[in-house]
Structure 1
Amino acid sequence: MRVDHQACQKAASTAGSGLLLQIGIAAILLIFGLLARDTAFIFASLWVWIGVVVWVGILILYFQQKLERLEALEESELAIDDNSSMFDGEGENIRPAAKRLKLLHKWVMPSVSLILAFLLAFTGYVLIQHLRLLESPDDTLRTSLYLTSLTGWALAISLAFALTGFIFSRFVAGMAKVPTWSNLRGGSSWMVGNTILLSAIAVGLVFRFFDNDAVLVWVCWAIPVFMIAVSAEILINFALNLYRPRIAGQLPRPAFDSKTLSLLAAPDSFVRSINEAINYQFGFDITSSWGYQLLLRSFSWLIALAVVALLAVDTMVIVEPTQQAVRLRQGAIVGDVQEPGLLWKLPWPFETAQVVEVSRIRELPLTFQWKEDRPVYLWSDNLDTLAVSKPKPFIVTGSSNSGDATSEDVLALLDVRAVLQYRIAKDGLLDWLTFGSDQLERRTQRSKRELGLLAITQQSLTTMLQTKTLNEIISSDRANFTAEVKEALQSKFNSLETGVEIVSLTLPFLKPASSDRSTFEGVSVSRQAESRLISASEGWADNVLTYTVGDSALVEPVIEAVEAYNNARSDWDALRTSGASSADIEHAKKRMDTEESLAMTLLRKGNGAASIRIDNAHVTRWVEMLDAWSRASKVRGQITAYKASPEIYRQRTYMAVLARRLPQLRKYIVGIDPNRVNVDLELQTINPLLNFSESIDIDQGAGN
């Protein structure tokens, strides 16, 4: 084909048409996505809007190439006359259009490719982060993925634009086979990208008619991944273009011209490339042989046989010994539960089989989860940093119900980590399947069935925690509490027909949620100190009692006997002071004497300190009694002498006292008239250690 400005004008017109079509598709997709609230259409419109840059670059490139061709035509007309060679030797100085075209190929097109790669990668990253928020429980903005209710209109728009884009891409791909129009391949590949995304959205919309939104959600995830993949291919093409040798007269291929998408725009060339590769591997033209031709003629029958074989295999489902299965027809359960063995069903899509592991023990965290396992978790640890999500404390009674009216209104917060282990109950598979589905809810990563079980369990746990005090929960009564919760929860599961059998309900971590949790450690230390003090006191009491009684086996009988004696003595005293009859008093006294005799017998049998002290008391009593008796006898013996002569008895007794006491007294002999004597007595006792007068007298005597 002749390369002139007319051919470039045709390519520029085609690029302009592609630009208008790209803008129209992008605008309609974006407007419909915003008005109808559909996330998939908004995501797809971002890809289409980025493709506008491709068509703008191709349009500018061919417009400049047209100017270059016109400039070359003018130069050739001026060069017809051999004598008019005034412009010879000037080169590019007289061809500015060619210089600008070269500048476009060298700098502008690579720059456009890098801009496209950046836009695709950045947009894909932002979209993935947006979708990840849907799965995050910490999404404060409550990000949502919208699916339009106008499914019919959405399907019509997506199919219409997908068909339009495919036809236009095929047309442009046909033009790109001409070397002059080869740069149109970039626009054709981008239009194929539009077709791929819109076709995927159309497939997801078709599944929405069957109440299956998961396919469209996957399409929303696939769009940013597709953008990042194309961005990576553009960067690879850019790097290869730096080292690819240039052929004279061949137009350079922009990096945004995706070879992968170009194959989809021209599938016939793809098949032709496969044939050439097969011939190359075998070393001869195998595609022209009779075997290859027979394979091509029988290809449809082979495909049909494979489909029939797949359908036949799909009618059989093997149920393992730990499994049970049911047949589903359009989502409804058909027939009874299939026990382990071979299950026969209609092929897909008429019937499907759902196989469930009924013996597997499942675990459901009821509260928070740890980020990583540690051997020990302390009350002083910050749970906000150790837990995956911030714990939500439970309410319990702050103190025991003691009679104090003010204590009944005190509440406390308790951080609880609770884990429920359960399995499908025997003959409970149908209840299990009808209770909820396995569809995962966004942000929670839990199925609807698990969310239902979680709500029921948390409600029961919260209700029962409010009936307990804080001391009861954090003490050894925790095991009894978990057993009560398990029993109540199993009854509730049975009443709601969940098909669940609870294996265990554990509370591996409990702590007060308030900042005063350190005081609980002080309580524990005080309780340990109290236990040590009680143990030491009991040991001291045992030692004292054993020392007192003498035999440790008689301690308790002696205590009981002494208490019985004290009670009998109290009764006897009460009867005497209350004016009871003498018979009652006498009976009480006999009872007291009996109890006293029993206690004394036990004490003497033990032969301890108490028995020894009682014996000593008896000895002392007899000694004092005999001494008093002897003095009384002596006095009685002197009565006769007193009666015979009282005065002589008094004088004799007086002289006997003087005889006993005068020898120990200090006596002074005065030889003058007593009336002239003035005696000054100082009744003080001098400390012998401080009596220096005697020492002075002794020294003076020695000096003389």
Structure 2
Amino acid sequence: MAGTEAAAFFGFPKIDLFIAYGLCVVLGLTAVETLIGLVLEIYRPRVKGQAARLLYESRLIGLLGQPGGLITTAAQALDYQFGFKVSETWVFKFLKEAMLLIILLQLGALFLSTMFVIIEPNEQGLLEHFGRPAGARAVLEPGFHFKWPWPIDIVYRYQTRQIQSFIVGEVPDPDLDKDRTVLWTRPHFKSKEGEGSEMPGMLVASRGQIARTDTNEKAVPANLLTVSIPFQYQITNLLAWVYNHANSDELLQELANREVVRYLVNVDMENIMSSGRLAAAEEIRRRVQARANEAKLGVNIIFAGLQDIHPPLGNKRTPVAAAFEQVVSAVQQKQTNHLYALAYAAEKIPSAQAEATHTLAQARNAAVTKVALAEAEAARFANQITAYEASPSVYTQRLRLDTLARSLEPVRKYVLTATNTQDILILNLEEKIRPDLLGGVIAPEETKSATTNK
């Protein structure tokens, strides 16, 4: 009891817990020894006149109770177990005489091995000489190094070449890391003791005030957001990281948490959740870096992420995230409809303009054609008057024949031959004759009757 109190006074409050663990180990070893002794007692050779050893008599307890008789106790145990005087052999006598020297040599080798230290590639070592930095050799780079043996020189290892991280806000559930899609309406953070799956979140400013329905008062222009912001950093000055503060890791997390809270209460919620997210992440990283430099932590803040920031989940009665998701969906649908209308206008307006241009061009062409035809008709009429005055009968007969030719041109024609004449039909075969012209020849009735009589 006095030992544990003294250990707690010197900064080791858990020494009683370690002693309890040690006693449990001793009891476990005693039980194993008893079980092994039972098995060995069954197969031990029996010697006349030798008293049997009690089964529950523990050699381990006896050894701890009489540390001075360690070799004697071991010799008695060997003699009893093997049935002959093992303690009288030269090997046992040599070990008995040189045991202290062997133990001292082993302790010396262990003591000298503390003079060598190997620093891994992703680490830096902090060398302390009698509890203080070892001057120019205080920071050891990766590789093999020599030092004074322990406890004169002590080396502490720090992963300065490795990117380290911590999270401000909610801690993601590691069981959901395999999910590629994270929904606002489903819990995806680790549950804390005595709390729900998600905390209420952090205060974030709002652009405008909303009037309450039950009173005439206006609500506070602030909202709650569930925030999980990962930070990544690297130790750049090991001496500053270790000696400027007692716990630099916790201090850095507290500084980051304070700057996140300060930033969120001065930024608009809609802006930080939409187009301003990247700018906000960079601003938070810059602020945390500035506070770390002021505290002389010796770290470089590499990254701050705002990917997981959204309205709180709420409960069954008030599903906050689901309601916010519906509002966002409605806004997106409104923008979609607006863009669809713009696309429809962009398609129809040029098409209408092209149609109007085409119609105007056709009207102009029709006007030009009508005018040209009218002018041609007028000129033809003047020429007809001149031709008629020159020869009225010829002009009239020719006009009649032209009219007859034009009117009979599309009409189907039939050629009738007479039997009492010797007329010769001459057909001009230079031009292609239509099939209906060749297939439409009809013989007279007399020819048909003569052919039938024959």
* CA distance in structure 1 between the aligned counterparts of 2:23 and 2:173, rounded to whole angstroms: 32
Instruction: Tell me the secondary structure at the aligned position of residue 184 of structure 2.
Output: coil
- 1:320 matched residue in structure 2: 120
- Which of 286, 293, 296 matches 1:497? 296
8 Å contact from structure 2 (residues 79, 87) kept in 1:
yes
- Which of 438, 447, 451 matches 2:250? 451
> What is the CA-CA distance between 1:267 and the residue it aligns to?
4.4
- Counterpart AA for 1:433: V
Instruction: Tell me the secondary structure at the aligned position of residue 479 of structure 1.
Output: helix
- 5+ residue gaps, structure 1, are 1-40, 42-157, 159-197, 438-447, 552-605, 620-704
Determine whether 1:431 maps to 2:431: no
Determine whether 1:372 maps to 2:174: yes
Determine whether 1:511 maps to 2:261: no
* CA distance in structure 2 between the aligned counterparts of 1:326 and 1:290, rounded to whole angstroms: 50
Instruction: Tell me the secondary structure at the aligned position of residue 396 of structure 1.
Output: strand
1:184-220 C-alpha deviation (Å, 9 max, x unpaired): xxxxxxxxxxxxxx5xx38xx3x667x5x23x41432
1:52-107 C-alpha deviation (Å, 9 max, x unpaired): xxxxxxxxxxxxxxxxxxxxxxxxxxxxxxxxxxxxxxxxxxxxxxxxxxxxxxxx
* CA distance in structure 1 between the aligned counterparts of 2:349 and 2:145, rounded to whole angstroms: 81
8 Å contact from structure 1 (residues 384, 391) kept in 2:
no
> What is the CA-CA distance between 1:379 and the residue it aligns to?
1.8
Determine whether 1:381 maps to 2:186: yes
Determine whether 1:417 maps to 2:228: yes
> What is the CA-CA distance between 1:399 and the residue it aligns to?
2.7
> What is the CA-CA distance between 1:613 and the residue it aligns to?
11
* Shift in alpha-carbon separation, 1:232–1:614, aligned structure 2, 3 A: farther
* Shift in alpha-carbon separation, 1:229–1:315, aligned structure 2, 3 A: closer
8 Å contact from structure 1 (residues 399, 407) kept in 2:
no
| Coordinate RMSD, CA, aligned | 4.2
* Shift in alpha-carbon separation, 1:379–1:332, aligned structure 2, 3 A: same
- Counterpart AA for 2:106: A
- Which of 372, 379, 396 matches 2:204? 396
* CA distance in structure 2 between the aligned counterparts of 1:278 and 1:539, rounded to whole angstroms: 98
- Which of 607, 618, 642 matches 2:357? 607
Determine whether 1:537 maps to 2:341: yes
1:514-552 C-alpha deviation (Å, 9 max, x unpaired): 54322221122212321321122112212331133218x
* Shift in alpha-carbon separation, 1:394–1:280, aligned structure 2, 3 A: same
> What is the CA-CA distance between 1:264 and the residue it aligns to?
2.3
* Shift in alpha-carbon separation, 1:314–1:466, aligned structure 2, 3 A: same
* CA distance in structure 1 between the aligned counterparts of 2:111 and 2:59, rounded to whole angstroms: 37
8 Å contact from structure 1 (residues 548, 608) kept in 2:
no
Instruction: Tell me the secondary structure at the aligned position of residue 175 of structure 2.
Output: coil
- 1:226 matched residue in structure 2: 23
Bigger helix fraction: 1
* CA distance in structure 2 between the aligned counterparts of 1:435 and 1:538, rounded to whole angstroms: 61
* Shift in alpha-carbon separation, 1:423–1:312, aligned structure 2, 3 A: same
* CA distance in structure 2 between the aligned counterparts of 1:208 and 1:224, rounded to whole angstroms: 17
8 Å contact from structure 1 (residues 370, 387) kept in 2:
no
* CA distance in structure 1 between the aligned counterparts of 2:172 and 2:60, rounded to whole angstroms: 45
- Counterpart AA for 2:152: F
- 5+ residue gaps, structure 2, are 43-50, 211-216, 369-454
1:10-39 C-alpha deviation (Å, 9 max, x unpaired): xxxxxxxxxxxxxxxxxxxxxxxxxxxxxx
- 2:422 matched residue in structure 1: none
* Shift in alpha-carbon separation, 1:385–1:506, aligned structure 2, 3 A: closer
Aligned residues: 335
1:326-356 C-alpha deviation (Å, 9 max, x unpaired): 2213432221322233333222122211122
> What is the CA-CA distance between 1:398 and the residue it aligns to?
2.2
1:420-469 C-alpha deviation (Å, 9 max, x unpaired): 121212xx1111111445xxxxxxxxxx3321111000011111111211
* Shift in alpha-carbon separation, 1:340–1:366, aligned structure 2, 3 A: same
> What is the CA-CA distance between 1:359 and the residue it aligns to?
0.8
> What is the CA-CA distance between 1:471 and the residue it aligns to?
0.8
- TM (norm. structure 1) is 0.41
8 Å contact from structure 2 (residues 208, 221) kept in 1:
no
- Counterpart AA for 1:303: I
